[in-house]
Structures are given as structure tokens and as C-alpha cells.
Amino acid sequence: MASHGDNVAVTIGLAHGFVKQRGYDAAMRVAGRTLELRGETEAAQDALLFSDEELQVKASVIVVAATETAVERAVREGKFLTHAALYSHPDMAVEKTFFLETFGCQMNVHDSEKVIGTLQQQGYSQVDTEEAADLILYNTCSIRDKAEQKVFNRLNDTKKLLKQGKRFGVLGCVAQQEGEAIFERAPYVSLVSGSASYRKLPEMLARLEAGERRIAGLDDRQTDETFETEFTARSNPYRGYITIIEGCDKFCAYCVVPYTRGKERSRTSTSVLAEARRMAESGYSEVQLLGQNVNSYRDPEGKRSFAELLAAVAEIPGIRRVRFTTSHPRDFTQDIVEAIDSVPALCNHVHLPVQSGSTTTLKRMQREYTREQYLERIGWIKGSRRPISVTTDIIVGFPGETVAEFEETLSLLESVQYDAVFAFKYSPRPNTPALVMIDAIPDDEKGKRLQVLLDRQREWQRANYTKRIGQVVEVAVEGHNTQRGQVNGRTSENITLNFVPSGPILPAPGSFALVEVTQSFPNSLVGRAV
């Protein structure tokens, strides 16, 4: 029987590509000499002829490139170590590297943190370039066509690296949306996985390492599972995301998310709070609760409402700031505002996407609220005891949007006075009901409307930010701009505020400073520490 000592018999028969090469290199290191990689069946047959004693004597290392049956037989007969043994043998540690690029929203950024943690747990190390990686992953976004094209352009740029034995994987929304069609469009891709299948990543990675060429994790939207892992590799040591709800059941007419991220499913508040506590204990002071519609949160244990969960996270010792995004107007309830009013650690900011200021457009968009109902919610927010900043998302040029309807959006923006607006030209998306709606607005008209909207908003925002001059606010320090002698940070409203420190020692990232606002721009503030 092959031993773990000096005489190691190794099978890398089922490994292909980078794992095979690395396994072979590692075997050579242990053997201290060049080994001949022989034909698969021949090598297996040969090896199977060795008796246990012969193995001990003859094989300082035997590298067998065997067929699956031969390896199975060898393992059954106890002649060889399995792949798992190969990797766990200290001398045979195979360094596996990956590169991961993320496109899209905060949900994707946080999913990537979980994927990175999972890969590290599986023995992979992260590298900064595609060239240095064995496995190249793209976590993709398909919310608009432009975002979707990015991944195919990137794959086209990097496919030449395939010759070096690298493997490619497409994760996220484009993966889920396009599914196995990606294997046809980009045949060099070996792994395609939507976010609802990430919990199966360890298994999919093992199959990839064993040489499988087309692995698909494409759970349909019926899954009840959330992706929870204790191996999240958070990139910022002070500010971190926590997913509280995944998927979306709203089916707005333009939106691909319900098809790419599956049905709405919440985590238990017990597990959310445990994660928040662990983060606080390891020094996190700011937590952002994430979900496609956070306020549609339903505790599977029935212990807490969304507003109660917000308050409970904010009351954890060490947590100074709690944010949440994104809220849906239909599920936005008054108790959320009451929670912000009574719990100081809840930030004074609500992101409440309206998409359009016209009730008729909203109806075509299947948003299930009217302009008036939206404004009623804004009324609750503006009626709070402390000022709460509001931001929104807008889509211009939705099918059938008339000039008059577009102007209603402008008038809504003027009356709400948002601190930030994220506006997009409507982009037709696969599977969505809006895809078949007639009367599409020409692209240059969408462009014009977008520009008008952004120009107006810029002026309203400029006026809003100017009103903040003279206020003293708390700023979470994020970094320094040594050239300008400035400290960079963010207010509770999530506004960027750069300030001059009060003394020669710059406050450390992760700390908090009181700052008087001295100057304003349309998207940021400037101040000095008090």
C-alpha cells in the first residue's frame, strides 16, 4: 500500500489543465528528478502491475495519468492515494490561484466576497492579474445590456490565456440568464454558475479540478436556499455588507433580476444578528444590510420585522452605523422611519427607487404604486424628527413614455429634493414583460431625456448641498489624500466629505471625526475638523 512517507504514489489521472501541471510539478519537486508523463492507459496498466513491495522500492513518486476506471480500480485496490490525499500531503501542496473581477451592484460585490472566502477555504489564493491565475472568474451583471456586453468583451480579451492551461468561469447574473448557452458562445468557459448555486461551489470546483470541461450551476428561481458562509473575505476592515434577503418576487416589467437571482428568500434574524455580532467583535463599525428589496424581509423564524431587525443590528455594541439597501416603495412602512428616529446608529439615509414620477408609466412598469403613494412615503421620511437624506433610481425612456410623463418625473425630482439620483436609459432585457411592449423610444431621445434630467438634478443638488455649509456632522474616516492634506470620509447621509484635520496627526481610517462643513459641490462636501 502506498504510504504518506518518503515513498509516495500519486495519481493525478483525473486532473487536467492547471491542476495536472501543478500536480506534476509538485511531484517532481518531491521526487527530486524529472518524471516522464506516460500515456494514460499504459501508465495505469504499468502501475497496477506493481505489488505493494515494489511500490515501496521502485516508486519514489509515480505519476499516473490514468483513465477514470483505472484510477478507481487502483484506489479500490489500495494502490494509490486519491486526489484528496495528494493535496493533503504536505510535500505535495499544490498552489492553486484565482483571479476574480466583479461587475455590477453591491449584491455582486458582496457575493464576490463570499466566493473569494469559499475559494480560499478550498486552498486557492487570490492573485491580482489574469496572467498570474490558474482560474479566471468574472462575476457578472445583466441589469442593462451594456453591463452584459462587458463580460463577453472581457472574455474575448483574455481567451488567449486558455493555451496556458487556465480555466474560465462566468458567475452571477449573466451566467444565470444565459445558462449553458455561454458554453456555445465562449467554448473555452468551463464553469457557469448563477448566484443561487454558489453554495455548491466547493463541489463544482472539485469537478473543475478533476478535469470536467462544462460545469453548470443553474438553480432555477424556485430555490429556497440562501448562500451563507462563515468564510466571507471582506475587503474593508471597518465597513461590511450582510445579506439579509436574496432574490426578488416583484417582477417589474423592465427588470431581469427576478430571473437571475431567483425567488425572494430571507435569512433568519438570528443568523443575521450572529453575523453582525461577529463583525462587531472583529472591529467593524459600519454594517450595510443588503437585499434586492430589503424591506420585503420576512424573518423565517417570525421573530422580527424588518424595522425590528434594523434596530437590533444597530444596538449591537461596537456598531456605529447601519445602512440598508435597496428599499421598495410598496413595502416601505412607517415603522422604518420610526426606527431611524429612535435608534441613533441607524443612518439618516433611505435609498427609495421611484423609477418614474408618472403614475401611468409606473403602471406600465408594474411597480404597483402611484406617484401619490410614493410621495406619501417621502412625506413620512421628511416628517421624521431628524433629517433623513433620500436618494433614488430613475429609468428614462421606458416604452411608451411620453414627454408629459417624463416631465412628471422631473417635477417629482424637484419636489422631493434628492441628495443623489442614479438615472439610466431604459435597456430591453431578455425574458422581461417590457421586451414585447411597442413604442420604444429612440436611443438618442432617451439620451436627451437623461441629460436634461441629470442637468436639472445637478442644480437642485447643488442648492441642497449648499444648505449644509456651517453644519457640524460626524464623519466616518475612510482614507487620506496626503497630496491635498485632506482626510476622506462619509457622513451618515452617505455623502462624501473631505476635510482638513485639526492637528498634525491624521485620524485613522475606521475612526470618527466631528467636522464643520465649509464648502459644497454637487456631489460632495468639504470641511474642517472641529
Report which residue's Cβ sits closest to ligand 5AD.
Answer: 393
The secondary structure of 124-139 as a DSSP string is EEE-SSSTT-SEEEEE
CB distance 162 to 130 below 8 Å = no
Among ligand 5AD, ligand SF4, none, residue 427 binds (CB under 5-8 Å by kind): ligand 5AD
Which residue number, 117 or 433, has a Cβ lying nearer to ligand 5AD?
433
Candidate residues 61, 116, 340, 395; the one interacting with ligand 5AD per rule CB under 6 A: 395
List C-alpha distances in Å: 363 to 27, 322, 332, 346, 439: 65, 33, 18, 32, 16
- Asked if 422 interacts with ligand SF4 (CB under 6 A), we say no
Exposure b/e, 452-473, CB count within 10 A at least 16 = b: ebeeebeebbeebbeebeeeeb
Cis peptide bond upstream of 226, omega within 30: no
Among ligand SF4, ligand 5AD, none, residue 251 binds (CB under 5-8 Å by kind): ligand SF4
Among ligand SF4, ligand 5AD, none, residue 248 binds (CB under 5-8 Å by kind): ligand SF4
Q: What is the DSSP letter of 60?
A: S
Q: What is the C-alpha to C-alpha distance for residues 371 and 394, in angstroms, rounded to an integer?
A: 13
Q: Return the C-alpha cell found at 205.
A: 470546483
Which residue number, 74 or 352, has a Cβ lying nearer to ligand 5AD?
352
Among ligand SF4, ligand 5AD, none, residue 393 binds (CB under 5-8 Å by kind): ligand 5AD
Please enumerate in sequence order all residues whose Cβ is within 8 A of that of 375, keeping only pairs 6 or more positions apart, or say none.
412, 415, 416
- x/- contact string, 417-436, with ligand 5AD (CB under 6 A)? -------x-xx-x-------
- x/- contact string, 230-269, with ligand SF4 (CB under 6 A)? ------------------x-xxx--x-xx-----------
Candidate residues 293, 358, 409, 520; the one interacting with ligand SF4 per rule CB under 6 A: 293
List C-alpha distances in Å: 451 to 357, 413, 446, 465: 17, 14, 9, 21
* φ, ψ of residue 239 in degrees (nearest 5): -120, 125
Report which residue's Cβ sits closest to ligand SF4.
Answer: 255
Among ligand SF4, ligand 5AD, none, residue 377 binds (CB under 5-8 Å by kind): none
Q: Which residues between 331 and 350 bind ligand SF4 (CB under 6 A)?
A: none
Strand order across the 420-425 sheet: 349-351, 389-396, 420-425
Candidate residues 331, 338, 393, 478; the one interacting with ligand 5AD per rule CB under 6 A: 393
Which residue number, 98 or 103, has a Cβ lying nearer to ligand SF4?
103
Among ligand 5AD, ligand SF4, none, residue 241 binds (CB under 5-8 Å by kind): none
Q: What is the C-alpha to C-alpha distance for residues 80 and 77, in angstroms, rounded to an integer?
A: 8
Q: What is the C-alpha to C-alpha distance for residues 509 and 128, in angstroms, rounded to an integer?
A: 24
Candidate residues 143, 151, 170, 189; the one interacting with ligand 5AD per rule CB under 6 A: 143
Residue found under cell 492637528: 503
Which residue number, 54 or 249, has a Cβ lying nearer to ligand 5AD?
249
Q: Return the C-alpha cell found at 112.
A: 464576490
- Return the bridge partners of 500, or none: 528
Residue found under cell 455580532: 277
CB distance 410 to 453 below 8 Å = yes
Least CB distance to ligand 5AD at residue 400 (A)? 14
Q: Which residues between 226 and 255 bind ligand 5AD (CB under 6 A)?
A: 254-255
List C-alpha distances in Å: 128 to 32, 135, 147: 31, 12, 22
Least CB distance to ligand SF4 at residue 292 (A)? 4
Q: What is the DSSP letter of 346?
A: B
What are the residues binding ligand 5AD (CB under 6 A)? Answer: 143-144, 254-255, 353, 355, 393, 395, 424, 426-427, 429
What are the residues binding ligand SF4 (CB under 6 A)? Answer: 248, 250-252, 255, 257-258, 292-293, 328
